[in-house]
């Protein structure tokens, strides 16, 4: 049986399903949760979406249809099936991880992270898929879900953002985008909402952050680093902070770009990008994970310490 058929087979008999995206969600996580919840409801199931954190996620993600219904929670109700989407490892489900770990036998994992070892009973992991929503598009065809405009908007959100606005991916991403566009979605509006909107405060934060960029030698690699501390990020939106890494993705004469974002004093999220180095390996070594060109992890300490620890790992 193909992985898609196996995933469909575990979904079909389930009546009540919880759909879980990763913490600090991006548009692929929220798009995947919302598309899956809507598709499952179309199949007559009782479905709801969850994120395992208590603080709200980035405002611009609320433009994705159904995002306002996603429940922030540290527990799941009794369900027949848990489906995680875009979660590269169990701990990416945040405060739901323990609960899901206990119910692994009733968990379906749908994901595209290269570092995902599989933590469910069925693991639909397609490492060369551009986005988790790309995998869902194929799964919905197997389940005979009708991809309406609402579902298409959700799927397009993940495809658009996980391909950096169609900068990388296979020819199939364009075929999929065309299929979604034929439902009548407004791609200009979706791009504005997810990639191009921002406040004056956001722009000022970005300006200050960019002026701090530094380049370090780590072994044979040259690493561009932006440190965005808690004070700097206080005035800006979460989406503006997440967008910083795009500026250091491929700076001249560097082969790795990193942004350290201090979400609470002393607690940092590092975002790693590269066109030539496997940053998922670096992130895994630092306790995180991700894809070959884009990965991340969490670190504690002051700015100098977290930067030094990363450079030591990269130089190894």
Stretch that binds ligand AMP, among 73-81, 153-161, 293-301, 306-314 (CB under 6 A): 293-301
Residue 112 Cβ, how far from Mn ion at the closest point, in Å?
Answer: 6
Binding mask 227-256 for ligand AMP (x = CB under 6 A): ------------------x-----------
Residue 158 Cβ, how far from Mn ion at the closest point, in Å?
Answer: 6
Contact status: 88 vs ligand AMP (CB under 6 A): yes
Binding mask 108-137 for ligand AMP (x = CB under 6 A): -----x------------------------
Contact status: 261 vs ligand AMP (CB under 6 A): no
Look up residue 196 and give its two tokens.
Answer: 């191009």
Residue choice 291, 293, 306, 314 for contact with ligand AMP (CB under 6 A): 291
Stretch that binds Mn ion, among 19-27, 76-84, 144-152, 247-255 (CB under 5 A): 19-27
Contact status: 26 vs Mn ion (CB under 5 A): yes
Q: Are the C-beta atoms of residues 17 and 83 closer than 8 Å to each other? A: yes
Residue choice 34, 82, 89, 159 for contact with ligand AMP (CB under 6 A): 89
CB neighbours of residue 15 within 10 Å: 11
Distance between CA atoms of residues 158 and 180, nearest Å: 12
Contact status: 242 vs Mn ion (CB under 5 A): no
Look up residue 17 and give its two tokens.
Answer: 């399903």
Tell me whether residue 35 or residue 270 sits nearer to ligand AMP (CB atom): 270
Contact status: 92 vs ligand AMP (CB under 6 A): yes
156 binds, among ligand AMP, Mn ion, none (CB under 5 to 8 A by kind): none
Residue with tokens 């004469």: 253
Stretch that binds ligand AMP, among 46-54, 189-197, 204-212, 282-290 (CB under 6 A): 282-290
Tell me whether residue 162 or residue 242 sits nearer to Mn ion (CB atom): 162
Binding mask 152-191 for Mn ion (x = CB under 5 A): ----------x-----------------------------
Residue 168 Cβ, how far from Mn ion at the closest point, in Å?
Answer: 13
Distance between CA atoms of residues 147 and 219, nearest Å: 49
Q: Are the C-beta atoms of residues 47 and 37 closer than 8 Å to each other? A: yes
Residue choice 288, 299, 307, 310 for contact with ligand AMP (CB under 6 A): 288
Distance between CA atoms of residues 70 and 34, nearest Å: 8
Residue choice 297, 299, 306, 314 for contact with ligand AMP (CB under 6 A): 297
Q: Which residues bind Mn ion (CB under 5 A)?
A: 26, 28-29, 86, 132, 162
């Amino acid at each position: 049986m193909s992985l898609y058929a196996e995933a469909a087979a575990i979904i079909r008999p389930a009546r009540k399903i919880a759909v879980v995206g990763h913490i600090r969600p991006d548009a692929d996580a929220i798009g995947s949760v919302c598309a899956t919840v809507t598709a499952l409801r179309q199949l007559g199931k009782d479905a709801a979406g969850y994120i395992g954190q208590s603080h709200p996620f980035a405002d611009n993600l609320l433009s994705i249809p159904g995002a306002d219904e996603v429940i922030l929670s540290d527990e799941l109700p009794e369900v027949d099936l848990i489906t995680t989407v875009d979660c590269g490892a169990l701990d990416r489900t945040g405060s739901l991880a323990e609960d899901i770990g206990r119910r692994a036998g009733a968990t379906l994992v749908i994901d595209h992270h290269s570092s995902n070892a599989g933590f469910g009973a069925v693991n639909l992991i397609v490492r060369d898929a551009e986005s988790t929503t790309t995998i869902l598009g194929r799964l919905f065809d197997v389940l005979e879900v009708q991809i309406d405009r609402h579902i298409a908007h959700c799927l397009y959100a993940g495809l658009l953002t996980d391909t950096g606005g169609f900068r990388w991916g296979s020819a199939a991403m364009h075929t999929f985008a065309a299929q979604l566009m034929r439902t009548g979605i407004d791609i200009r509006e979706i791009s504005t909402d997810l990639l191009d909107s921002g406040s004056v405060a956001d722009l000022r934060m970005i300006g200050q952050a960019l002026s701090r960029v530094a380049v370090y030698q780590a072994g044979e690699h040259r690493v561009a680093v932006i440190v965005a501390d808690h004070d700097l990020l206080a005035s800006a939106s979460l989406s503006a902070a997440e967008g910083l890494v795009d500026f250091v993705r491929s700076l001249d004469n560097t082969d790795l770009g990193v942004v350290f974002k201090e979400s609470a004093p002393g607690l940092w999220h590092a975002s790693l990008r590269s066109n030539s180095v496997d940053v998922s390996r670096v992130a895994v070594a630092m306790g995180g994970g991700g894809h070959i060109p884009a990965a991340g992890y969490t670190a504690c300490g002051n700015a100098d310490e977290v930067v030094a620890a990363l450079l030591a790992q990269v130089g190894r």
